[in-house]
Structure 1
Amino acid sequence: MGQDVKLNRVETVLKDLEYPISREDAIDGCEDVTLVLSEGEENLSEIVAESSGDRFESMDDLENEVFNLLPRHAVGEPYQSEGEG
């Protein structure tokens, strides 16, 4: 059974992977994870599969790549935050 994870909690999934990790192993490790975005959902393994990198040295490397590959609308309106007003 898959899990739904909000984008701002993606590190809870990525921290469970062993680093360094190949792109293929990262894809396999994220296969059952659905990212809940501000507008819709995306399968995390499909996002990782779009990466041109072959390997991720750390969780931060993979997390940065995921954020770079997301469409702009995935993270909400530009210049807006989900922080408390």
Structure 2
Amino acid sequence: MSRVKLSRVESLFEELSYPIARERAADEFVDTTVTYADGEGNLGELVSQCPSAEFAGSDELLADLNNVLPVEAVGEPGQSEGDA
């Protein structure tokens, strides 16, 4: 099983041929673990939860993925990387 940081997922998505169905994209990453701010998840399972049935490009797939990521993927609730 391969591992990839969340910040590197887009480069994996760019390797796919588009358009691609959600199920096909999920199958491509069934053996990939994505690590994020406070945990990890199976990238194939996360992609399978995306709302779109098909993706025209890697940017669409990444946008959908960001909508299904758990809260711990982006850091602690209420925290900001902006100026304090």
TM-score of the aligned structures, taking structure 1 as reference length = 0.85
SS state at 1:10 partner: helix
Counterpart in the other structure of 2:81: 80
Unmatched 5+ stretches in structure 1? none
Q: Give 1:1-85 correspondences, 5 Å limit.
A: 2-77=1-76, 78-80=79-81
Equivalent pairs, count: 80
1:44, CA displacement in angstroms?
A: 0.6
Separation in 2, partners of 1:18, 1:10: 15
- Cα distance per residue 1:38-78 (max 9 Å; x no partner): 11110011111112211001000001111111012211133
Runs of 4+ in 1 over 2 A off after TM superposition: none
Gapped regions of structure 2 (runs ≥ 5): none
Task: Report the residue type matching 2:80 in the other structure.
Answer: Y
Identity of aligned residues (%): 40
- Distance apart, 1:37 and its partner CA: 1.0
